[in-house]
C-alpha cells in the first residue's frame, strides 16, 4: 500500500460534527486512530481509504491462506 488514511471525527466550536482525512504513517498514528474512535462511541465503524500499488488480481494471488489441515 502506498497511502492509508481514515476519516477522523471532529466537533467544531459550535458543536457541528465534521470529518477530516488523517494519514496513517506509523504505529503511533494507528494507536491515535483507535484512541479517537474509542472517545466517539457513536460510531460503529472506522472509514479508511488505501491506495494500492498492485492490481487486485495480483494481491489475491499473493494471499497466504491458512492451512486447512490444522
Domain definitions of the chain by residue range: 3-62
CA distances from 29 to 4, 14, 16, 25, 33 (A): 11, 27, 24, 6, 6
Give the predicted TM-score (pTM) of the model.
0.51
Q: What is the pLDDT along the chain (70 residues), one digit of tens a residue?
A: 678 888 877 778 898 888 888 888 888 988 888 887 777 666 667 777 777 777 878 878 888 877 766 5
**How far apart (Å, rounded) are the C-alpha atoms in residues 32 and 28?**
6
Nearest to 4 by CA among 29, 38, 28: 29
Amino acid at each position: 500500500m502506498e497511502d492509508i488514511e481514515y476519516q477522523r471525527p471532529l466537533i467544531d466550536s459550535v458543536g457541528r460534527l465534521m470529518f477530516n482525512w488523517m494519514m496513517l504513517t506509523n504505529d503511533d498514528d494507528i494507536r491515535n486512530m483507535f484512541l479517537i474512535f474509542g472517545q466517539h462511541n457513536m460510531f460503529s465503524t472506522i472509514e479508511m481509504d488505501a491506495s494500492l500499488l498492485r492490481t487486485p488480481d495480483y494481491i489475491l494471488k499473493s494471499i497466504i491462506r491458512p492451512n486447512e489441515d490444522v
